[in-house]
Amino acid sequence: MANASRGTHFVAIIGGATAGAEVAAQLADRGARVAVFEQNPRPFGKIEDGLPRWHVALRKKEYATISEKLARPGIEFVPNTQVGRDVDFLELVREWGFSAVVLANGAWRDRPLPIEGADDYVGKGLIYQNPFVIWFNHANEKSYDGPVFEPLDDAMVVGGGLASIDVAKVLMLWTVGEKLRERGIDEDMVEMELKGIPRTLAKHDLKFEDLGLAGCTIFYRRRVEDMPVTEIPEGATPERAEKARKARDKLLNKAMGKYCFRFVPLSAPDGLIVEGGRLVGLRFRRTRIEGRRVIPLDETFERRGSCVISSIGSIPLPMPGVPTKGELFDFADWELGRLADFPTVFAAGNIVTGKGNIVASRKHATQVSEAMAAAYLGLDDGAEGREALADAVSARAAEAAAAVAAGVVDLPALEDEAVERVLARVRERQAAVGYDSDLAAWIAKVTPADFE
Ligand SMILES: Cc1cc2nc3c(=O)[nH]c(=O)nc-3n(C[C@H](O)[C@H](O)[C@H](O)COP(=O)(O)OP(=O)(O)OC[C@H]3O[C@@H](n4cnc5c(N)ncnc54)[C@H](O)[C@@H]3O)c2cc1C
């Protein structure tokens, strides 16, 4: 990619976390120049702000992997630079002179709770999953200055995927921890997640019922066996599909036993219950499942709770200049994330799956197996499975990145002078944000001592 006759590829990557760092490393290893534009000071994305902080080893390993990949020769890191705010997307694609641009900016917007007027109650009884988990992951940092939440008992979680189980676990571990502290017992949250709530309480001769907690409840519009916590491979035999559905049932029951939350299937949010200007509950409509379709029935019921946490998926934040279709980017080719009118643009990672988790729609992506989901949810009673998760995260990112890198190679490369012009512009931006090309020193500088 860098020989004299063909010139050099210079690729801009938007987002420097799992997907962005992997694409950057693969391109750099093949001789391309790369500039990674990252909106945050640290390039850790959902590993820092989406993966709950009890995944201590997995997070540390991924931080190290991302840092190592972005430090490779040929990669320019450009922190504190949001494309769409600090740098215009169309300018980046058409004027900066890059040979290709890769969108690896993930999915950071919560899919809106589908009830008219619901968003009027954000902060007044309604909470969305993304800011809630960001707060939870930074709750112990003195310098954290984002929105703060109080996990309350008897919360209602609307969801059904892995992320909604994460939210339920946060609520349960937090509220149980508080009840124990009231009794003078200080249990480490990470330890409690590993052992589970009943085993932790048993050490103190307590049962969950002794704590006086109602626990939180997940409301899901489909059945337990439809939960997208594991994938059913395309073209699976009826027997294999049935086995996968049974595995979902087993996983959920194990999670409910270990973390003491409740689950109500076949219930779609249908209306708001508002009192004194606050959201105090929801009306649900019973549903029936026909194949993949959710059929709303006539029956409705109401449930009240301390708050509603909506965890129904993460979607990309709109970026001015990138065409959208509904709530997703309008990719003409979802495999490589190609946009019809931008022949030099590609995409990789969560942004192409259109989901906040790695239950991906890509054909080539590794399936989320029962074992992987069990390890992710803390249900495999051992560190081994959890360690293997890091490999799974990397393997998925690597597969997608290889396909994108191959696509980039097919585009025309740049002459040396053009490379220098792009580099000068990149360096100008790095100087403006005070970045001096030493990634390790920069990360050390922008990471608080109490960062987890
Ligand atoms: C079994 C399993 C289940 C998992 N489930 C989940 C899950 O449910 N939820 C979850 O969150 N993770 C989950 N993970 C972790 C998963 O690996 C991450 O979601 C994945 O790493 C996403 O990587 P990404 O790079 O595509 O996106 P992100 O990590 O979101 O990275 C995007 C980066 O782009 C940056 N960015 C965004 N917009 C801009 C912009 N305009 N300009 C510049 N920079 C920008 C962001 O700051 C961020 O650093 C799971 C992992 C496993 C193994």
Task: Please check whether residues 75 and 55 belong to one and the same domain.
Answer: yes
Task: Please check whether residues 89 and 137 belong to one and the same domain.
Answer: no
303: nearest Cα among 287, 281, 285, 279: 281
Tens-of-pLDDT digits for all 452 residues of the chain?
Answer: 444 446 899 999 999 999 999 999 999 999 999 999 999 999 999 999 999 999 999 999 999 999 999 999 999 999 999 999 999 999 999 999 999 999 999 999 999 999 999 999 999 999 999 999 999 999 999 999 999 999 999 999 999 999 999 999 999 999 999 999 999 999 999 999 999 999 999 999 999 999 999 999 999 999 999 998 887 877 788 898 888 899 999 999 999 999 999 999 999 999 999 999 999 999 999 999 998 899 999 999 999 999 999 999 999 999 999 999 988 899 988 888 999 999 999 999 988 875 433 334 344 345 677 888 888 898 886 666 777 788 877 887 888 899 999 999 889 999 999 999 999 999 999 999 999 989 999 999 999 999 98
Task: Please check whether residues 82 and 127 belong to one and the same domain.
Answer: no
Cα 21 to the center of its chain, rounded Å: 16
> Does 346 map to a domain?
yes
Long-range contacts for 334-343 (Cβ within 8 Å, ≥24 apart)?
A: 334/361, 334/362, 335/362, 335/363, 335/364, 335/403, 336/403, 336/404, 336/407, 337/102, 337/103, 337/404, 338/407, 342/93, 342/101, 343/411
> Does 121 map to a domain?
yes
452: nearest Cα among 39, 134, 171: 134
Task: Please check whether residues 325 and 383 belong to one and the same domain.
Answer: yes
Instruction: Give me the phi and psi of 161, to 5 degrees please.
Output: -95, -175
CA of 351 to the centre of ligand 1 (A): 8
Task: Please check whether residues 234 and 260 belong to one and the same domain.
Answer: yes
> Does 3 map to a domain?
no
Name the one residue in this structure whose structure tokens are 């626990």: 215
Name the one residue in this structure whose structure tokens are 């109650």: 121
Task: Please check whether residues 155 and 281 belong to one and the same domain.
Answer: yes
Name the one residue in this structure whose structure tokens are 């430090």: 71
| 11 within 8 A of 411, measured Cβ to Cβ | no
Cα distances from 401 to residues 196, 259, 319, 346, 363, in angstroms, run 36, 36, 21, 10, 14
CA of 113 to the centre of ligand 1 (A): 21
Total domains, the chain: 2
In this structure, the residues whose C-beta lies within 6 A of any atom of ligand 1 are 14-20, 37-40, 43, 45-47, 50-51, 82-84, 104-106, 162-163, 319, 349-350, 356-358, 368, 372-373, 376, 389, 392-393
Q: Residue 330 belongs to a domain with what CATH number? A: 3.40.50.720
The range of the structural domain enclosing residue 226 comes to 112-312
Three-class DSSP labels, the chain: CCCCCCCECEEEEECCCHHHHHHHHHHHHCCCEEEEECCCCCCCHHHHHCCCCCCHHHHHHHHHHHHHHHCCCCEEEECCCCECCCECHHHHHHCCCCCEEEECCCCCEECCCCCCCHHHHECCCEEEHHHHHHHHHHCCCCCCCCCCCCCCCCCEEECCCHHHHHHHHHHHHHHHHHHHHHCCCCCCHHHHHHHCHHHHHHCCCCCHHHHCCCCCEEECCCCHHHCCCCCCCCCCCHHHHHHHHHHHHHHHHHHHHHHCCEEECCEEEEEEEEECCEEEEEEEEEEEEECCEEEEEEEEEEEECCCEEECCCEECCCCCCCCEECCEECEEECCCCEECCECCEEECCHHHHCCCCCCCCCCCCCCCCHHHHHHHCCCCCCHHHHHHHHHHHHHHHHHHHHHHHHHHHCCCCECHHHHHHHHHHHHHHHHHCCCCCCHHHHHHHCCCCCCC
| 273, 297, 312 - which closes a domain | 312
Cα 63 to the center of its chain, rounded Å: 15
CA of 129 to the centre of ligand 1 (A): 14
Cα distances from 414 to residues 1, 95, 402, 426, in angstroms, run 10, 14, 21, 16
The pLDDT value recorded for residue 292 is: 86
> Does 4 map to a domain?
no
Task: Please check whether residues 303 and 197 belong to one and the same domain.
Answer: yes
Task: Please check whether residues 325 and 284 belong to one and the same domain.
Answer: no
The pLDDT value recorded for residue 361 is: 39
The pLDDT value recorded for residue 54 is: 96
Tokens of 321: 């200049």
> Does 452 map to a domain?
no
Task: Please check whether residues 242 and 270 belong to one and the same domain.
Answer: yes
Pairing of strands 278-290, 293-304: antiparallel
| 304 within 8 A of 280, measured Cβ to Cβ | yes
CA of 350 to the centre of ligand 1 (A): 6
Task: Please check whether residues 286 and 373 belong to one and the same domain.
Answer: no
Angle, CA of 104, 106 and 108, to the nearest 5° = 150
Ligand 1 atom 26, closest CA: 349
Q: Residue 283 belongs to a domain with what CATH number? A: 3.50.50.60
User: What are the b/e assignments for 296-306, b being 16+ CB within 10 Å?
Assistant: eeeeeeeeebb
> Partners of 290 in the beta sheet?
293
Q: Which atom of ligand 1 is nearest to the CA of 20?
A: 25
CA of 104 to the centre of ligand 1 (A): 9
> Does 323 map to a domain?
yes
Task: Please check whether residues 331 and 439 belong to one and the same domain.
Answer: yes
CA of 47 to the centre of ligand 1 (A): 6
> Does 199 map to a domain?
yes
Cα 388 to the center of its chain, rounded Å: 18
> Partners of 287 in the beta sheet?
296
The pLDDT value recorded for residue 38 is: 98
> Does 451 map to a domain?
no
The pLDDT value recorded for residue 231 is: 79
| 312, 342, 362 - which closes a domain | 312
Ligand 1 atom 3, closest CA: 358
| 312, 338, 353 - which closes a domain | 312
Task: Please check whether residues 289 and 321 belong to one and the same domain.
Answer: no
